[in-house]
Amino acid sequence: MTPPPRLTILFDNEPGLPALTRLWGFAALIRVGDRTVLFDTGSHGRVLLKNMAALGLSAESLDLLFLSHPHWDHIGGWDSVLELNPRLTVVVHEGFSKHLIRDLRGLCGDLIVVGADPRPLAPGLFSTGMLDSNPPEHALVIDTVEVTAAISGCAHPGMERIVERGVGLLGKSVDWAIGGFHLMDADPVRIEQSVRNLKALGVTGVVPTHCTGDAGKAAFRRAFGAACLDGGVGRDIGA
């Protein structure tokens, strides 16, 4: 099994390292090539920075901030991060508030506003483009020589749609699906459908966390076995 890309979960409501604070929300640090990406910022900036410091990480080391969707539990820490690193490139999509987009332009080094079409961000890094859902969301697609992955915040459009967009974008299968799968309120039929669809799309490993729910995580563990990895705040995933 090809290991997932290097990813450290910095903010999660799922338990991980006992020294870190867990609150509702999600954020992860992703390293691809020479780029260090912060994916979402959780719900609370001071807690995010505290968790980063406990892991020996700093906001100043980041190159890019990717915000998946405008819910509070994914963008609550953006101002804390930009206060320490105003040179950051920030990536949002057109579904974010026009007022937030306007304000961000004066607070970061560069602002990329993604539309409906997929968009390259850096070597090996892509936005899926904004997918229709409530709220609209985009996800990060990673393509290295060794592995491909789709990273979601909450997967409001469905993790299957995100992976399907990644497959179309890359022209090959997506090995790993990582992040919130938004199945916490789903019935067993919907959960099993998600499992089957992701397998049919060629996904070989998953890291379901945040809003996936206990029943969803259990279903993915049954289906993927050792290739279903635990999330949780502080988890270091990949090589």
Residue whose structure tokens are 């790993």: 176
Work out the mean pLDDT of the chain and round it to a whole number: 97
Is 62:88 a contact under the CB 8 Å cutoff? yes
- Per-residue burial over 71-105, b = 16 or more CB atoms within 10 Å of its CB, e = otherwise: bebbbbbbebbbeebeebbbbbbebbeeeeeeebe
pLDDT recorded at residue 1: 62
pLDDT recorded at residue 2: 75
pLDDT recorded at residue 238: 86
DSSP-based three-state secondary structure for 83: helix
Query: Nearest 10 degrees: CA dihedral of 94, 119, 231, 37?
Result: -90
What lies within 8 Å, CB to CB, of 179 at 6+ separation is 26, 28, 39, 139, 151, 152, 153, 154, 155, 207, 208, 209, 210
pLDDT recorded at residue 25: 98
- Rounded to whole angstroms, what are the CA distances from 73 to 68, 88, 180? 11, 20, 12
Q: Which fold has domain 7-234?
A: Metallo-beta-lactamase; Chain A (3.60.15)
Query: Hey, what are 124's tokens?
Result: 């090996």
Residues of the chain with pLDDT under 50: none
Domain boundaries, the chain: 7-234
pLDDT recorded at residue 105: 95
pLDDT recorded at residue 4: 84
Query: Hey, what are 67's tokens?
Result: 């915000």
